[in-house]
Amino acid sequence: MSLVANSPVWRPFTQHALQPGAYKIVHAEGAWLTAEDGTRFLDAISSWWVITHGHRRPEIMAAIRRQTETLDQIIFAGFTHEPAEALARRLVEITQPGLDYVFYSDSGSTAVEVAIKMALGFWRNRGADRRRIVALEHAYHGDTVGTMSAGARSVFNAPYEPLLFDVARVPFPSSGAEQETLDALESHCRAGAAAFIVEPLILGAGGMLTYGAQTLAEMKRVCERHETLFIADEVMTGFGRTGSLFACEQAGVAPDIACYSKGLTGGAVPLAVTMCRREIFEAHYAQDRARAFFHSSSFTANPIGCAAALANLDVWEHADARARLANLGAMQAERAARFAQDRRFSAVRRLGTIVALDLDVPESGYAATLGLDLIRFFNARRLLLRPLGATVYVLPPYCVTGAELDLAYDAIEAAADQFASRAR
């Protein structure tokens, strides 16, 4: 397998001194990536959580081709186009009740920045001094300065620490300790927090940490009691990943603001939306220009992205898309069960289509390079798996077959043979 080196490309989340090359992919289809030299990789993490149904889903590719016949980027202030109008109407229909307005942007981070700005603008325009943002321990909301501020502080954002604004942090609701989370949230809300931002049911980059729907519903009730705005960051969980179209559905929670991006176009092209309740739009509605919502991405509501998203929503209307989701959840549960009694792993967990498990590795020093060692180990077995430290997770596109999943789990078993600190 050959790696492309001597490239001017500076890749994301890459220490080039330790990871000098990259596999050059020339073809993607279904759950597979094919490299220049013919090597095929099973994409067991949906290309960083974006691909939902599978790579190059034909209906989505066709919609993109069709849209390029009539529109490219169109300025979105003072002008509009049918793909954006139609998509907004359909999103209002399928998301949680009350999310009546749709603001377009182009990435998950931007969608979250927009959400935070909407929340702060809401309170300012209402003349209230509510500015505090509350977030969960271990949260991840993106890599821009605002979203890093809301996310957990770590080695990943240490250099920018002086720029990050202060947020109130509540403990992750680990099993049995949910009340502590709710109590901490309540005290920040009572003190007049502007908004609480949360990844519903599962914290992705924070380590695929899951918590119950009931806790999510309780968090929402706490916010309601004190009029703290509830922001659901569904950038990763949206569009089927947790077993329902949106994670909030499972808790019967209707957020005040919600962010969607990764799976919005089925993962084909970048697009994001921040949706909000009518009151938030209305707080910005006035004869006074200074009360407008001042945000714009150059590529806001890109027509080709909107066409891809509409085609994605069409795919979701087929009953077999839902059936496939349920079937994948069952296949994943079956495979996760194989590790439940394996002493080399702990916290084997599944939420919808996602399985995660923690590999027990020797303490000290070793853990720091374990992530990279595991990535190399899996790549050598023609698998795209990228553990988060010692947390191995399988987050496949929904077209994956049982036999393909077995390739991933057999490799995870082999990784345990090589890296685990104790015997099975």
Ligand X SMILES: *Cc1c(COP(=O)(O)O)cnc(C)c1O
Contact 99, 255 (CB under 8 A): yes
Distance CA(152)–CA(346), nearest Å, equals 23
Smallest gap from residue 272 Cβ to ligand X (A):
7
Report the residue number, 109 or 125, with the smaller CB distance to ligand X. 109
Distance CA(363)–CA(360), nearest Å, equals 9
Report the residue number, 141 or 386, with the smaller CB distance to ligand X. 141
Report the residue number, 204 or 352, with the smaller CB distance to ligand X. 204
Smallest gap from residue 181 Cβ to ligand X (A):
18
Smallest gap from residue 109 Cβ to ligand X (A):
3
Report the residue number, 110 or 125, with the smaller CB distance to ligand X. 110
Q: Is the dihedral of CA 342, 397, 109, 145 positive or negative?
A: positive
Report the residue number, 91 or 235, with the smaller CB distance to ligand X. 235
Report the residue number, 196 or 345, with the smaller CB distance to ligand X. 196
Smallest gap from residue 299 Cβ to ligand X (A):
13
Smallest gap from residue 50 Cβ to ligand X (A):
8
Report the residue number, 230 or 339, with the smaller CB distance to ligand X. 230
Strand order in the sheet with 32-35: 25-29, 32-35, 40-43, 383-384
Nearest residue to ligand X, scored by beta-carbon proximity = 108
Smallest gap from residue 391 Cβ to ligand X (A):
15
Strand order in the sheet with 195-198: 101-105, 272-276, 257-260, 229-233, 195-198, 133-136, 168-170
Smallest gap from residue 112 Cβ to ligand X (A):
6
Report the residue number, 142 or 397, with the smaller CB distance to ligand X. 142
Smallest gap from residue 259 Cβ to ligand X (A):
7
Distance CA(43)–CA(395), nearest Å, equals 9
Q: What is the contact surface with ligand X in residues (CB under 6 A)?
A: 107-109, 112, 140-142, 199, 204-205, 233, 235-236, 261
